[in-house]
Amino acid sequence: MAVGRNGFYPSTVAVDLSTQADFLTQRGANPVANLDVLIPSLRKIVAWTKWRRVPIVSSLNSHRPCELDREQGGPFCIDGTNGQRKLIFTVMGSFVRVEGDNTLAVPIDLFGTYQQVIFRQRTKDLLSNPKADRFLTQVPADRFILYGVALETTVKALALGLRARNRSVVVVADGCGFWSEVEADLALRQLEAKGVRLMTVDQLLRERLPRHGRYLALDHGGNGHGHGNGNGHGNGNGNGHGGSGRIQNGVFGRKHSGNGAGKNGHAVN
pLDDT average per 10 residues of sequence, the chain (269 residues): 51 96 95 97 97 95 74 76 95 93 87 95 93 94 96 98 97 98 98 98 89 62 36 34 34 42 56
> Count of CB atoms within 10 A of residue 58's CB?
25
> Could you give the CA distance from residue 98 to residue 227 in angstroms, rounded to a whole number?
9
Check residue 256 and give its pLDDT. 37
Residue 111's nearest CA partner among 158, 156, 160, 49 is 49
Check residue 265 and give its pLDDT. 61
Check residue 186 and give its pLDDT. 98
> Could you give the CA distance from residue 219 to residue 150 in angstroms, rounded to a whole number?
35
What strands lie across the sheet with 169-177, from one edge to the other?
A: 197-199, 169-177, 143-149, 12-17, 56-61, 116-121, 94-98, 264-268
> Could you give the CA distance from residue 189 to residue 187 in angstroms, rounded to a whole number?
5
> Count of CB atoms within 10 A of residue 84's CB?
24
Check residue 100 and give its pLDDT. 80
Report the run of H or E that residue 161 belongs to, with start and end.
Answer: helix 156-164
> Could you give the CA distance from residue 194 to residue 72 in angstroms, rounded to a whole number?
26
Give first-to-last CA distance, the chain, whole Å. Answer: 27
> Count of CB atoms within 10 A of residue 92's CB?
27
Report the run of H or E that residue 182 belongs to, with start and end.
Answer: helix 181-193
> Could you give the CA distance from residue 151 to residue 166 in angstroms, rounded to a whole number?
20
Check residue 2 and give its pLDDT. 44
SS3 251: strand
Q: What is the CA radius of gyration of the chain?
A: 17
CA angle 36, 95, 222 (to 5 degrees): 110
> Could you give the CA distance from residue 225 to residue 255 in angstroms, rounded to a whole number?
19
CATH of domain 2-268: 3.40.50.850
